[in-house]
Amino acid sequence: MKKFLLSLAVLFTATFSANAQVVDTKPICGTYTCDFYLSMPDPIPDDLEPIPGTPVQILPGEEAGTINFFLQNFSMSGQVLGDVLLKNIKVQCDAEGKYTFVEHDAQRVELPAAGIVADAKLNCATTYVKNGKLYADVDIVWIMNDVPVSPIYVRLISTASTAGIGEVSVNRTTRNGVYTLDGRFLGNELKANAPKGVYVVNGKKILK
């Protein structure tokens, strides 16, 4: 009888512990407007200027306690290539309300605008959400013919968010603004006195 009760207690404790590990992800689900940093093949330098206004969505995952990380309009050299969607990433939360993410395998993503295939994952050692603010490092490896070609380092630091406000839906929008081909943000409109050349305006190449 004692052995049975002991086994029952162990089973109850294990079940309770498993359930306790399921984190409510609603407080961090929402849209984050982020400064976007990108560097390849070297890690992001401290003096790199960001591209502002990049939308990132954290959406509920298919399983309880998980999220989908949705980087919209991923771009290189000012050209929008596609979206990066990482699914079912497990969330954990500490006593101070800092949400972090459990280490996960890289997921295959396709960027059809450039014919790029890549493996991507969150850097779970540095990525977190706290007080409605997102800091995320996304490690991407460009794949060609099933062979890794080059690492791509992406960093996203939120400047505003709707996290926790309500239901979130995927909204695919074009990144607005004017960029040079090397990715420098020039402003919201192409100025009349801008030098002649090729610019990326609202996601499209324009010859001036």
Give mean pLDDT in consecutive 10-residue pieces for the chain, a chain of 208 residues.
49 45 91 93 94 92 95 78 92 96 96 85 97 96 91 95 58 58 67 71 62
Q: Burial level of 10, CB count in 10 A (0-12/13-18/19+)?
A: exposed
pLDDT at position 199 is 63
CA 27-140-73 angle, 5° bins:
65
pLDDT at position 172 is 45
pLDDT at position 169 is 45
pLDDT at position 195 is 76
CA 59-63-66 angle, 5° bins:
50
Tokens found for residue 65: 């306690």
pLDDT at position 198 is 58
Query: What is the distance between the alpha carbons of residues 113 and 197, in angstroms, rounded to a whole number?
Result: 22
pLDDT at position 116 is 85
Query: What is the distance between the alpha carbons of residues 96 and 129, in angstroms, rounded to a whole number?
Result: 11
Helix (H) / strand (E) element for 86: namely strand 79-93
| Sign of the C-alpha dihedral computed for residues 93, 94, 98 and 101 taken in this order | negative
Burial 21-53 (b: 16+ CB within 10 A, else e): eebebeebbbbbbbebbbeeeeeeeeeeebbeb
